[in-house]
Amino acid sequence: ALLAQEYDLLVLEDLGVRNLVQKGENKKRRRLRLHDSSFSELRAVLEWEFVKRGKLVLPLPAFNTSRECFLCGEISRNLTLEDRVFHCPRCGFSLDRDLNASLVLLKRVGWVPPFWCACG
């Protein structure tokens, strides 16, 4: 509820958790974490809180958000799930993988970083 009070826009990755589980990932622990995390329940609550306040919810495809450089758009094909830091092979930009993915999502909806941000 606090997020929906504070922000006017909710941008969500469409993770396709069901597809990840059905692909038969070779790591059983990862599959169990996907089920235990209840992504769909969290998403439903967040969406409901935003919508009931008349705020915008934008689900976006998650394809390559962790591998795309926020600054230059280069796709890092060598990044694995175990790599927690994104390093761009083209421009040298380096950032936590999840934070980079969040910035990529915001960029995809037209967000421009503030002038004081050193990331753009």
81-116 pLDDT per residue, tens = 899 999 999 999 999 999 999 999 999 988 877 765
pLDDT at 12 > cutoff 60:
yes
Whether 4 and 51 have beta carbons less than 8 Å apart is answered as no
Q: Dig out the tokens for 1 from the structure.
A: 């509820």
pTM for the structure as a whole: 0.69
Q: Where are the domains of the chain?
A: 1-62, 65-120
What's the pLDDT tens digit per position in 21-52?
555 545 555 555 555 567 778 888 999 999 99
The dihedral sign for the CA sequence 50, 55, 59, 62: negative
Q: Which amino acid is at 96?
A: D
Specify which residues 92 forms β-bridges with: none
